[in-house]
Amino acid sequence: MNDRTDVDTMPKLTGKISPDRIRLMRTPRPPEGLIEKLKSISDATSVVADVMDELGITGAIGASVLKPTLPNASIVGPALTVRNLMQREHVYETARLHVNRMAEFEAHNLALPGDVVVIDGVEGISNMGGISAQTGKRQGEAGAIVSGGVRDVGHSRRADYPMWATEITPVTGKWRIETVEINGDIQIAGIRVSPGDIVVADETGVCFIPAARAEEVAERALAKANFEIEKCLAIDAGTAVADLPSKE
């Protein structure tokens, strides 16, 4: 059921997707201070992946699968999800008739500052390009995660909009892709992602933290990160290997 509260404050829809395909008009917001806590952790995906293992939570994907387009980029934010499928018609017909059913711009339209657009996309085809990335940057999004192709990488870099994608391709999706759902459950590299789940991404990979476990994961991750800082300080101080801190 769509969230229709505060109708007067809701953005005007673009018409690229039927309103009944938008499951939530606003991405669920994380608890206060949670995003800042995770942002304070260096090499956050490695720390978070360890904590998720300890808690029996799946959700870590390496940068060899979801490759960052911006070096040294790191983001944390709630997931605004998009699901794409191939259009049924042949691309030559849709291109000739200019039939464009992509609607990731509707996700930008609905985005709140700090949101991360997460696209369950189509392989071998661009699910997000440079103008889309520039629009996401203007909307205050943290970045995007795309299972599928992206293009115009130079444009998105100039816009300082980080993306993690499984592929880079010049092949446009606008005559090939249909966006069938926004803010519903999706699958990214075998991981289920729901709107409002917390995305942590850096040059090592991407972690999707279920919203219901996010506070627990963040607390444990911060404690683990602080322990690792203590251990690194001991290494720099010349502490013998046998005497380094060994319990977290």
* Binding residue positions for substrate: 151
The model's pLDDT over 149-168, given as tens digits with 9 standing for 90+, comes to 999 999 999 999 999 999 99
Binding residues: 151-152
Residue 38 backbone phi and psi in degrees, to 5? -70, -35
Q: Please give the annotated binding residues for Mg(2+), written as ranges.
A: 152
* pLDDT 10s digits, 104-118: 999 999 999 999 999
Say how many C-beta atoms besides its own lie within 10 A of residue 232's C-beta. 13
The letter for the amino acid at 221 is A
Burial class for 6, CB neighbours closer than 10 Å (0-12, 13-18, 19+): exposed
Q: Domains along the chain?
A: 7-239 (3.50.30.40)
Cα–Cα dist 206/157, whole Å: 19
Confidence check: pLDDT of 2 > 80: no
Average pLDDT over residues 189-217: 98
Q: What is the Rg, in whole angstroms, of the alpha carbon atoms belonging to the chain?
A: 19
Are 44 and 204 a contacting pair, CB within 8 Å?
no
> Could you tell me if 102 and 84 are in contact, meaning their C-beta atoms sit under 8 angstroms apart?
yes
Answer yes or no: is pLDDT of 240 > 90.
no
Q: Is the pLDDT of residue 248 over 80?
A: no
Identify the sign of the CA torsion 122, 71, 34, 27: negative
Considering only residues 245 and 214, tell me which one the structure prediction assigns the higher pLDDT. Answer: 214
pLDDT reading at 184 higher than 50:
yes
